[in-house]
Amino acid sequence: MWMKKSVNLIYKKYVLLLIVVIFIINMLSGCMQEDFELDAVEVREYNGEDLSSVHDFRENSIKGPQYIDRENYTLKITGLVKNPKTYIYDEVINDFQNYKKTITLFCVEGWSVKILWEGILVKDIIQESGPLENANTLIFHAYDGYTTSLPIEYVDDNNILLSFKINNVTLPSERGWPFQLVAENKWGYKWIKWVTEIEISDNIDYEGYWERRGYSNNADLNKSFFD
């Protein structure tokens, strides 16, 4: 009788332990999923065009998604400028005119997404710092150490956006919050996420993370992304 009670007690403890382990595993697996909550209703159609979903992107960043503290975040404008600037997040989104564009991002991996991007013009924010006459290149720096560059002329002529919303929702951290560059007509590796600094330079040949690994510095969609 004593042995039977002991076995039953051990069995109950084992079942309880198993339930706890399963619960913990489910919790952890939920944390590792890429799903995230949006802060508004995502639009899937704009001006008669069907849009991809915010969830249609693939995760391919060099260090995984970055999660930045809003209170400590700043965007710096540095380099060949008369007046270097440092902006907090709210200053960027509130102090400059906002624009919307429907643009497709094409990744070198073979996938693409058509998204409604909302943000400010890069040329508007760098103009406040007063680029010097010999400046010809913008070097973009990300929170995870990623960099890439684009000619100032291209950025100005194409009204390139620094986006803080996609499909009417605030850019999720997994997609590049606080800011992603919308480098239209360029391959996806130019669409830098988690932007923390725009450095104004005279180095037209600057090579970023993927460019140093053989990718084209030009990155035009109608050409190969390999040099």
Q: In this predicted model, what pLDDT tens digit does every residue of 86-120 receive, in sequence order?
A: 999 999 999 999 999 999 999 999 999 999 999 99
158 exposure class (CB count in 10 Å sphere: 0-12, 13-18, 19+): middle
Mean pLDDT, residues 6-27 = 44
Using the structure block, give the residue that is written with the tokens 């399963």: 22
Report CA dihedral (81, 95, 113, 219) to the nearest 10 degrees: -10
In the predicted structure, residue 126 carries a pLDDT above the cut 80: yes
Averaged over 126-155, what is the pLDDT?
Answer: 98
Secondary structure class of 74 (helix, strand, coil): coil
Confidence of residue 32 (pLDDT cuts 50, 70, 90): very low
pLDDT grade for 218, boundaries at 50, 70 and 90:
very high
Closest residue by Cα to residue 37 from 14, 54, 61, 62: 54
CB atoms within 10 A of CB 106: 17
Half-sphere exposure at residue 17, Cβ-oriented, CA atoms within 13 angstroms: 6
Mean of per-residue pLDDT scores for the chain = 88
Fold (CATH) for 45-213: Sulfite Oxidase; Chain A, domain 2 (3.90.420)
Position 35 confidence tier, pLDDT thresholds 50, 70, 90: low
> Is the pLDDT assigned to residue 26 strictly greater than 80?
no
